[in-house]
Amino acid sequence: MKRNILILSLFLASSSLPAQSPLERFIAHPALKHASVGVSVTDLESGRSILSHNAELSLTPASVQKLITTATALELLGEHYRYRTEVAIDANDPARILVIGSGDPTLGSEAFSDHPETFFTVAVDALKKALPSGREYSIYVVDDLFGYYGISPEWTWIDMGNYYAAGAYGISIFDNSYKLIFDTTDRNSCPKILRTEPEIQQLTFRNELTLNTTGRDNGYIYGAPFSNERFLRGDIPAGRKAFSIKGDIPDPGLLLGETLATYLRDAGLNIGRVETAREDYLTAVCSTARNNNYRVGRVLFTKISPPLKEIIREVNVESNNHYAEHLIRTIGIKYRSNAEEDALEAGIAAVSDFWNSKGVTTTSLQMYDGSGLAPQNAVSPQLLTDLLVYMYTRSDVASVFFDSLPKAGQEGTLSSFLRDTRLKGRIAAKSGSIGGVQCFAGYLIDGDKRYAFTVMVNKFNGTRPQVRSAIEQLLLEL
């Protein structure tokens, strides 16, 4: 009898304990035991906070930072903004061909349907019609619009030299990346380098790669901007006749000029010197006055980029770092206070100024690039959610921004996220992941539920799939 009473008492006691909320279950997940976690969910209709945990804590966002860059670009530049790359004749020297960069990241890019070589074929047609034959011409590539730092000073050596950390300059070509192709059929030796695509004759490689039997690509290319020396480390799959990894082009402006020269020579024109504005720019750094040694004369051809709304969709759906870095610098060029100010720093300042002017407090924001690649970047879940609410409820380009985000379980970096759940296609969001970081921020539109949400996890101890699964469960239980 006493035993039955004891069991009944324990049952009643346990049944009276409050059930854990979805947020409590998420925070208590074993994979997050040692993690820093921030959550912010806001109802888009009422503006009321639905969930909040460490919402004001600055955390590393990884690629979720692209939401800040793309939203700001849309607001300040407009959805129809286009880059324009001009091919002209130097008014001071009719034998000099000018290629004037505007910071267009899409020139020769694989992200759009235009053939990567189109710029060169159309430019050659225009030049051949306009230039008299029988004399020697030179090419001068004006690629100094953003200066020549190219990368954030906070990027790490482990990233520099790889395609996803390509530099951003006034001229971009072929996504500022190349393929390095190997023959790995000899399992008893290091991978044999076959070629680069496109060909970059000046590049040299110190090959320390080994072969693996896992089939995984663990190969990395290390190198600084404008350095032609590259180091290869890690391991790549054995048994392949043509296996490739990708690196960043050290000097995109020079490669564009040399490629154009090749096309023009093949068309019968005599092309001599090919140079960029870099040496003139660096020479003038310590000068009190910067005088261009060229003057734009007759413009023979203008390559116009896709509109900004298409560029931004590529950034958010495919998490394109290179495009994002061009956008933050483009913002900087448009809104910097003086011509000497660094384009990246000016872009970051413009971001804070704009959002503060709209009532979105940016005190939690520490921004060192446009893509989120720098580990030192930091932002609070609340700032990201406030920005998302603004873009959905107050922006004139609300639908453009929403449509730029990948849909869960359907496309881009979210193609496997929530794929076999009722939220497939009902979440439009940006993911972010670097070492020890997993974040998601965007919109949940499910019947009467219309939420802006941000979930940020830093320094987790579990596996990335475990953390992603925990975030999926939190969103499903909202």
In this prediction, the residues of the chain whose per-residue pLDDT falls under 70 are: 1-18, 286-291, 339
Rounded Cα distance, 107 and 175, in Å: 7
| Residues 217 and 344 reside in one and the same domain | no
| Residues 250 and 279 reside in one and the same domain | yes
| Residues 300 and 329 reside in one and the same domain | no
Whether the CB-CB separation of 444 and 427 falls below 8 Å is answered with yes
Q: How far is CA 140 from CA 93, 167, 228, 437, in A?
A: 11, 20, 20, 43
Q: Is residue 161 part of a domain?
A: yes
> Torsions phi, psi of 232, nearest 5?
-110, 125
| Residues 287 and 183 reside in one and the same domain | yes
Rounded Cα distance, 423 and 444, in Å: 8
Q: Is residue 466 part of a domain?
A: yes
| Residues 194 and 227 reside in one and the same domain | yes
What does the buried/exposed string (b/e) look like for 360-396 if buried means 16 or more CB atoms within 10 Å of the residue's CB?
bebebbbbbbbbbbbbebbbbbbbbbbbbbbbbeebe
Q: Is residue 4 part of a domain?
A: no
DSSP state string for 33-88: TT-EEEEEEEETTT--EEEEESTT--B--GGGGHHHHHHHHHHHH-TT---EEEEE
The two three-digit tokens of residue 464, written as one number: 């990335």
| Residues 169 and 233 reside in one and the same domain | yes
Spell out the residues 6+ positions from residue 16 whose beta carbon is closer than 8 angstroms to its own. Answer: none
Rounded Cα distance, 147 and 158, in Å: 23
pLDDT at 289: 58
CATH number at residue 61: 3.40.710.10
DSSP letter for 406, please. P
Boundary residue ending a domain (274, 304, 334):
304
pTM metric for this prediction? 0.93
pLDDT at 46: 95
Q: Is residue 58 part of a domain?
A: yes
Quick check: helix, strand or coil at residue 112?
coil
| Residues 314 and 439 reside in one and the same domain | yes
Residue type, position 200, single letter: I
Q: Is residue 91 part of a domain?
A: yes
| Residues 164 and 297 reside in one and the same domain | yes
pLDDT at 337: 74
Spell out the residues 6+ positions from residue 209 whose beta carbon is closer than 8 angstroms to its own. Answer: 182, 190, 191, 219, 232, 233, 234, 235, 236
The runs of H, that is alpha helices, within 217-362 are: 252-266, 278-284, 308-318, 321-335, 343-357
H/E element, 457:
strand 449-458
Whether the CB-CB separation of 171 and 141 falls below 8 Å is answered with yes
Whether the CB-CB separation of 217 and 247 falls below 8 Å is answered with no
Whether the CB-CB separation of 297 and 89 falls below 8 Å is answered with yes
pLDDT tens sequence across 295-307: 999 999 999 999 9
pLDDT at 18: 60
Domain count across the chain: 2
Q: Is residue 9 part of a domain?
A: no
Q: Is residue 1 part of a domain?
A: no
Helix axes 321-335, 66-77, angle to 10 degrees: 40
In Å, how far from its chain's centre is CA 375? 14
| Residues 196 and 116 reside in one and the same domain | yes
Boundary residue ending a domain (304, 329, 350):
304
DSSP letter for 18, please. P
Q: Count of alpha carbons within 13 Å of 407, Cβ hemisphere only?
A: 11
Boundary residue ending a domain (254, 288, 304):
304
Q: Is residue 5 part of a domain?
A: no
Q: Which domain holds residue 446?
A: 22-79+309-476
| Residues 92 and 231 reside in one and the same domain | yes
| Residues 421 and 349 reside in one and the same domain | yes
In Å, how far from its chain's centre is CA 133? 43
| Residues 334 and 472 reside in one and the same domain | yes
The two three-digit tokens of residue 188, written as one number: 């008893």
